[in-house]
Amino acid sequence: MQQDFNLEFFRIRLTAMRDFYESGATRPLVFRLQQLRALKEAVIKYENEIHGALYEDLKKSPEEAYATETGLLITELNVALKNLHRWIRPSGASTNLVNLPSSSKIYRDPLGVVFVISPWNYPFQLSLIPLVGAIAGGNCVLLKPSEWAPATAGVIEKIVGEVFPVEYISTVQGDGASVVPAIMHSFRFDHVFYTGSVAVGKLIYQMAANDLVPVTLELGGKSPAIIENDANISVAARRIAVGKFANAGQTCVAPDYVLVHNSIKEKFEEALRQTITQFYGQQAQDSGSYGKIINERRFDKLVSYLPQGDIITGGQYDRSHLFIAPTVLKNVSQESLLMKEEIFGPLLPVLGFDTKEEALNVIRQNPNPLSLYLFTGDSQAEKWWIDNVPFGGGCINNAAWQFTNHYLPFGGIGNSGMGAYHGKYSFDIFTHAKPVMKTATWIDPKIKYPPFSGKLKLFKWFFR
């Protein structure tokens, strides 16, 4: 059950978490594996309840909920369970000539007590995938689910409370705008992991900076999909549509707008229109594969964008059901809010271009996107775009699916965030790389000690 926020209660709780961490209880491999297994068992046990909560919050079907939430989490758990014994092992490092005879290793130390602050759009996996990394890293965790997805937040609290001791992993509920600052101003965490908007990410960063607390910021941005004139139009339409309209467009890695070569622009628009109908039917509101907008505040914001372009397809909406149809727009001004703000909903502007430089200038209006998607069969064009656009991560001839590949680090750059996670990268971000050099005592060259007069030539040779 969710409880009202009480700052003094959480001060005591966090002090207990600090004591538990400093006892060393979280460090042994066997303890970490036990916690990961227990979490996996709970996710499987409560799968139907999790999916029910995701339907209540976002109208996600069981299939979409598994593919984009619980399935991704179980994969992360399996990867950690399989590999953690290797991840925690000290790794060897080379030693330079001046330090011989010595050997060098890098140890991975837990950070301590960490704060994970989660968003509402994928409220289950974006809460618990970072938690997997923090547990694997040997930390204690305070977890803040989003109050905008209350059904899922309640299930998360239930699972965490059932599986973990409160002095090890705890949840805090309530209005993030008041709860998060109160907690961060009253307790020094060893790391803060935040997923959400750029505006709130900046505030988190500022609060953490007061105590030199390191942060991971997984933010957003306007991620472009670029379609060159040699692209497979039907494949591009299908892959952009599924990447954009999954979760009713409320996905940080969704294509935010399309830049398509003018020579194929009309063909692409028609292919996209047909694809949307194939995916969601004539009435997307009745589709079991199409979700809803999270709340009325976001709904009203998205509807305000609709007059800012000419609608190719879609445009229907129903506030009583928080429904906005998959919508494609053209003739959108680059000065409009539709092209200046991250849309984070099922509206997709399509812009034409004739040259790469013209398209690049559009992207530079919103630099450092979280993702970039390029559709082309030309390896030279592929290289040009990768070389010329800074972005967090992306795909060639695909959209959004890079997020599901745990072998790749996921994270942003500049305005779209800092730090990366997934798979071993999650373990790395919740641990400190502690380098240690061990030097033999059977030899102790005098060159290393004063007086240094006359040794400059030797020093230059050693440090060459």
Helices 29-45 and 125-136, axial angle in degrees (round to 10): 160
Tokens 């500049």 appear where?
414
Task: Point out the catalytic residue in the list 64, 69, 157, 218.
Answer: 218
Q: Give, rounded to a whole angstrom, the gap between the first and last alpha carbons of the chain.
A: 64
3 state SS of 17 = helix
Q: What is the chain's Cα-based Rg? A: 25
* Total residues found in the chain within this entry: 464
The token pair at 73 is 């989490």
User: Could you tell me which residues are beta bridge partners of residue 432?
Assistant: 109
60 neighbors 247 (Cβ within 8 angstroms) = yes
Q: Is 218 a catalytic residue?
A: yes
129 class by beta-carbon count within 10 Å (0-12 exposed, 13-18 middle, 19+ buried): buried
Cβ neighbours of residue 28 closer than 8 Å, sequence gap 6 or more: none
Task: Point out the catalytic residue in the list 64, 76, 167, 252.
Answer: 252
The token pair at 85 is 């014994």
262 neighbors 352 (Cβ within 8 angstroms) = yes
DSSP string, 201-270: HHHHHHHHHTTT--EEEE-----EEEE-TTS-HHHHHHHHHHHHHGGGG--TTS--EEEEEGGGHHHHHH
332 neighbors 351 (Cβ within 8 angstroms) = yes
Q: Is 140 a catalytic residue?
A: no
Selection from 117, 193, 113, 114 nearest residue 153 by Cα: 117
Q: Which residues are catalytic?
A: 218, 252
